Structure 1
Amino acid sequence: MSETANTVSTPPTNRELTTAQRRAVAELMRVSPVADELGRRFAAAGHELHLVGGSVRDALLGRLGDDLDFCTDAKPEQTLAIIKGWAEAIWTTGQEFGTIGLQRGGLRLEVTTFRAEAYDRVSRNPIVKYGTSLDDDLRRRDFTVNAMAVSVPGHVFADPHGGLADLAARKLRTPGTPQESFADDPLRMLRAARFAAQLRFEVVPPVRAAMEAMSADLGRITAERIRDELVKLMSSADPVTGLRLLVDTGLADQFLPELAGLRLEIDEHAQHKDVYEHTLTVVRNAIALETDGPDFVLRLAALMHDVGKPATKAVGTGGRVSFHHHEVVGARLTKQRMQALKFPKDVISAVSGLVALHLRFYGYGRGEWTDSAVRRYVTDAGDLLDRLHKLTRSDVTTRNRRKAAALAADYTALEERISRIAAEEDLARVRPDLDGNEIMKLLGIPPGPLVGKAWRHLKELRLDRGPLTHEEAEAELRRWAAEQGV
């Protein structure tokens, strides 16, 4: 059970509800010149306009951003006519779903026709059906806290499903039955986990039960939509709460089975720490080391760093448990899972690269690392070095204070050593001491594979021995060429 779910919420008082409404009005006043002006244009054309959904929720929380959502009884083509000449920019990519986007006064606005959208409960394709009233629209929203609206320019508050009380109590409920809501759009189950992580809300028991019973329905959702929800969850204030909910309800099994797989069975002869709990602790540790907002690559690498352990678990003599080469297996599994979720290649490369490298540091404290090993560590990490520092430090979760202090001291020593060598050499751009043109000129060979082979040989020397003088590099190249029969 999540930590959030263990808390007991008391019903909000009338004073708390009034305070929330005042906060929302204060937030709305900040954007009201644009919102109200747009509302007057719709009213002049005989249509309603309401600020709706997450925008109202965030206004009530005192965190309204610059992206505002509106709903209206006007059809998309009517909306386009109303905003023509007023909007500073217009985009129609969502027009087939009833949404018109625009920009005005530094705000990004989306205006959507009242909808009664639903899935056909068989395929992945939504059925777009326009509703006839604000009530129709709010009834089809995912959660009550997102089913509130404020009219513009009148600022009349609409809350037919008790969203304000749920917001004050930090509870996540659906306007209708959760079974109906999730059948219409199974992605809402992932949104529940995301809001639990993002807003630290409690998912009420009926919603949680429906998530467990209907987790397999997530198979109707495209990989891209699932990926986007995972990114939002992992980038939230408290992703661990959301991750626990995904695992406990069986949703993780549908798109991230490696996470649930970390809950390894611990037998009486092979005691070892719970890899699942360790992983969640590493995620928390990594978040604590962030310096410039959420780092999704670092967080996902922390989540996936040990996914190779179940496949590599072995029990040796004396009941000792080992996971040899789990970083190699884990990097492969991470790459495969991220490819299935349609992540961009550069993000896949970064996350799987960190998983592959996360164990490289261990052994440094035994004094086995030469300067050459340090150079290779930095070169192999490349642009990921700063994240690798954070991931490696995050991976220390032992309760043995002496051991934890020793590992931290060892890594500090490694970082200082990297800084010392970097001050002497340009570790960020380790290159051979001779470039391709010099290699071809010295050996009298044309462009081709042999030049690349010579270049790689010189780079290995550079990593092993550090910078060479031009004369030393030429001598080493001639020696290698002679051995190769060039």
Structure 2
Amino acid sequence: MISLDNPRDSAEQVVSNLLRVPAPADELGRIFADHGHTLHLVGGSVRDALLGRAGDPSDTSATGGTGGGAPDLDFTTDARPERVLEITRGWAEATWDAGIAFGTVGLARRGVRFEVTTYRSESYDRTSRNPAVTYGEGLQEDLVRRDFTVNAMAVSVPGHDFVDLFGGMADLARGVLRTPGPPEASFDDDPLRILRAARFEAALGLTPVPELVAAMRSRASRISIVSPERVRDELRKLIASRDPVAGLERLVEVGVADLVLPELGAMRMEIDEHHQHKDVYAHTMTVLRQAMALEDDGPDEILRWAALLHDIGKPRTRRHIAGGGVSFHHHEVVGRDMTRRRLVALRFPKDVVDAISSLVYLHLRFHGYGSGEWTDAAVRRYVHDAGTQLSRLHKLVRSDCTTRNRRKAENLARAYRSLEERIADLAAHEEIAAIRPELSGDDIMALLGLPPSRLVGQARAYMLDVRFERGLLGREAAEAELFRWARENDIVIPGETPTPDEAPDA
């Protein structure tokens, strides 16, 4: 975080950092100046220059950024979109105009992406998800419409004159989050900014000022007009941020989670008078933090979502036991289905939905391992069912231990180490990472003379069970096992003459 002990030094530091912006940015500024237009770098690029940090994929600015890799460089200008395309023709190596209706033109040069937006002075229909764009006449009018003061700073290019009309640099120094204008008006204009406030708290450690929190709470219902896709994108950035717990807890506090992720707040169940179970919400946040500590290389979105959602089935499955205590039988099954429904409603990609739902379903499987009495078949099934998520499942199971009982925690850790060792031992002798029957569906049809049918699927399922129970048999033994199953199920094997009892009825 920056210091304002010497404001002159801070401003000079800003300029110094901005000089490290890719050279094409200044090139673009000179083109605009040569054609009589102004160009200012705005948003997250300026904010991150003040912080002395490279762009973070989860910390893209309020008005741009791809969310994958370094954010785009965002600019504002007095030139209209058609003029931007005209004066950059021949300089830009690629252009795109998907946002031209909102005053934005995309450019690319030397691997750098630029988003150039004409000064805007927009207002939102209170029932619409999109702004009704009108062009502004000056930089101040453009900056005041931005979401937060820390994103309402600008630097001219190529001159590098720093513009901070709303105290964004001071807010960064104090670690607070404010809006340039009244927060209620800002959230009325674009309710998605409520989610962005939580995301910037999670990503940058900026604490919303009390009036901003009050506006988040009073305008929470406005989030209902925002499309699921935009909500999803903000939640994905939040979960991948440095401290997602802070942002998630803020959403629960102001009531927004009840609308976009209602399962989260529902986990705040009262602890019974005998303290026989933990508060599921608090436990979940601990599991999320512990899962993050096990990440290998940067944020693992799937692991984080699985940690956040692994117990969402508990509120629906809670049952009080006579004499005290609580049970949550089959909460992993209910939780899997709830997870899938929520993520589908938020338009998550299918592969992400499948991976997270599978982890939620499997997170309790290990607890049947007990004192290490699983058969090799059970270990093979565990690996098979986890599939490509096995590494994440290891981390999720370890993170799910939040007991304060040191002996219990050590026993659980010891048991899971034992399971991992058995998996490694089996893997050293056979391929268990992607267990399949030794006979494929085509093999089964050829050996039994069957057309594609449900019967072939049943035979394959049986051979998969054999693979689990007995490991690799070899081709000859696998075929013998298939033939034995076929005879038991009254399937005539090509080349064999049925016994009189087996002969089909005339």
TM-score range, shorter chain: over 0.9
Structure 2 counterpart of 1:286? 291
- How far, CA to CA, are the matches of 1:388 and 1:222 in structure 2? 32
Greater shift after overlay, 65-74 or 208-217?
Answer: 65-74
In the TM superposition, residue 292 of structure 1 has moved relative to its aligned partner by 1.4
- How far, CA to CA, are the matches of 1:218 and 1:82 in structure 2? 39
Are the aligned partners of 2:178 and 2:212 in contact in 1 as well (CA < 8 Å)?
yes
Task: For residue 70 of structure 1, give the secondary structure of its aligned residue in structure 2.
Answer: strand
Task: For residue 105 of structure 2, give the secondary structure of its aligned residue in structure 1.
Answer: strand
Residue 120 of structure 2 corresponds to residue 115 of structure 1: yes
In the TM superposition, residue 31 of structure 1 has moved relative to its aligned partner by 2.1
Q: Equivalent of 1:43, from 21, 33, 48?
A: 33
Structure 1 counterpart of 2:210? 205
In the TM superposition, residue 482 of structure 1 has moved relative to its aligned partner by 1.1
Are the aligned partners of 2:313 and 2:331 in contact in 1 as well (CA < 8 Å)?
yes
Structure 2 counterpart of 1:185? 190
In the TM superposition, residue 19 of structure 1 has moved relative to its aligned partner by 4.1
Are the aligned partners of 1:40 and 1:153 in contact in 2 as well (CA < 8 Å)?
yes
Residue 431 of structure 2 corresponds to residue 432 of structure 1: no
**CA shift digits 1:388-414 (9 cap, x unpaired):** 001000000111111111111111111
Are the aligned partners of 2:318 and 2:328 in contact in 1 as well (CA < 8 Å)?
yes
**CA shift digits 1:19-44 (9 cap, x unpaired):** 44333222211126322221111111
In the TM superposition, residue 82 of structure 1 has moved relative to its aligned partner by 1.2
Structure 2 counterpart of 1:61? 51
* Structure 1 residues not aligned, in runs of 5+: 1-8
In the TM superposition, residue 166 of structure 1 has moved relative to its aligned partner by 0.4
Greater shift after overlay, 260-269 or 140-149?
Answer: 260-269
* Structure 2 residues not aligned, in runs of 5+: 56-69, 492-506
Structure 2 counterpart of 1:21? 11
- How far, CA to CA, are the matches of 1:426 and 1:19 in structure 2? 62
Are the aligned partners of 1:270 and 1:319 in contact in 2 as well (CA < 8 Å)?
no
Query: What residue identity is the alignment partner of 1:36?
Result: D
In the TM superposition, residue 429 of structure 1 has moved relative to its aligned partner by 2.4
**CA shift digits 1:238-292 (9 cap, x unpaired):** 0011011010111100110100000001231453211111000000011000001
Are the aligned partners of 2:119 and 2:139 in contact in 1 as well (CA < 8 Å)?
yes
In the TM superposition, residue 59 of structure 1 has moved relative to its aligned partner by 0.9
Q: Equivalent of 2:171, from 143, 166, 171?
A: 166
Task: For residue 110 of structure 1, give the secondary structure of its aligned residue in structure 2.
Answer: strand
- How far, CA to CA, are the matches of 2:26 and 2:483 in structure 1? 78
- Taking the TM superposition and a 5 Å limit, the aligned residue runs for 1:64-213 are 64-65=54-55, 67-213=72-218
Greater shift after overlay, 148-157 or 298-307?
Answer: 148-157
Task: For residue 421 of structure 2, give the secondary structure of its aligned residue in structure 1.
Answer: helix
Query: What residue identity is the alignment partner of 2:12?
Result: R
Query: What residue identity is the alignment partner of 2:19?
Result: M
Residue 439 of structure 2 corresponds to residue 449 of structure 1: no
- How far, CA to CA, are the matches of 1:118 and 1:406 in structure 2? 60
Query: What residue identity is the alignment partner of 2:290?
Result: N
Q: Equivalent of 2:229, from 213, 224, 227?
A: 224
- How has the CA–CA distance of structure 1 residues 106 and 440 changed in structure 2, closer, same or farther, with 3 Å as cutoff? closer
Query: What residue identity is the alignment partner of 2:471?
Result: G
Task: For residue 434 of structure 1, give the secondary structure of its aligned residue in structure 2.
Answer: coil
Structure 2 counterpart of 1:332? 337
Structure 1 counterpart of 2:263? 258
- Taking the TM superposition and a 5 Å limit, the aligned residue runs for 1:238-277 are 238-269=243-274, 271-277=276-282
Residue 393 of structure 2 corresponds to residue 403 of structure 1: no
In the TM superposition, residue 363 of structure 1 has moved relative to its aligned partner by 2.5
Query: What residue identity is the alignment partner of 1:59?
Result: A
Greater shift after overlay, 123-132 or 386-395?
Answer: 123-132
After superposition, the CA RMSD in angstroms is 1.5
Are the aligned partners of 2:372 and 2:415 in contact in 1 as well (CA < 8 Å)?
no
In the TM superposition, residue 14 of structure 1 has moved relative to its aligned partner by 3.9
- How has the CA–CA distance of structure 1 residues 437 and 181 changed in structure 2, closer, same or farther, with 3 Å as cutoff? closer
In the TM superposition, residue 350 of structure 1 has moved relative to its aligned partner by 0.6
Greater shift after overlay, 268-277 or 134-143?
Answer: 268-277
Q: Equivalent of 1:341, from 346, 352, 355?
A: 346
Task: For residue 368 of structure 1, give the secondary structure of its aligned residue in structure 2.
Answer: coil
Structure 2 counterpart of 1:237? 242
Query: What residue identity is the alignment partner of 1:96?
Result: A
Q: Which has the higher helix share?
A: 1
Are the aligned partners of 2:42 and 2:76 in contact in 1 as well (CA < 8 Å)?
yes
Structure 2 counterpart of 1:6? none
In the TM superposition, residue 64 of structure 1 has moved relative to its aligned partner by 4.2
Are the aligned partners of 1:70 and 1:110 in contact in 2 as well (CA < 8 Å)?
yes
Query: What residue identity is the alignment partner of 1:22?
Result: E
In the TM superposition, residue 365 of structure 1 has moved relative to its aligned partner by 2.9
Are the aligned partners of 2:228 and 2:346 in contact in 1 as well (CA < 8 Å)?
yes
- How far, CA to CA, are the matches of 1:230 and 1:352 in structure 2? 17
Are the aligned partners of 1:212 and 1:251 in contact in 2 as well (CA < 8 Å)?
yes
Greater shift after overlay, 42-51 or 31-40?
Answer: 31-40
- How far, CA to CA, are the matches of 1:288 and 1:103 in structure 2? 37
**CA shift digits 1:104-152 (9 cap, x unpaired):** 2332111000111232112222211111100010000000000010111
Task: For residue 100 of structure 1, give the secondary structure of its aligned residue in structure 2.
Answer: strand
Count of residue correspondences: 476
- How far, CA to CA, are the matches of 1:224 and 1:437 in structure 2? 42
In the TM superposition, residue 335 of structure 1 has moved relative to its aligned partner by 0.6
Structure-1-length-normalised TM-score = 0.95
Structure-2-length-normalised TM-score = 0.91
Query: What residue identity is the alignment partner of 2:95?
Result: I
Are the aligned partners of 2:4 and 2:10 in contact in 1 as well (CA < 8 Å)?
no
Task: For residue 154 of structure 1, give the secondary structure of its aligned residue in structure 2.
Answer: coil
- How far, CA to CA, are the matches of 1:24 and 1:318 in structure 2? 65
In the TM superposition, residue 459 of structure 1 has moved relative to its aligned partner by 0.9
- How far, CA to CA, are the matches of 1:315 and 1:307 in structure 2? 18
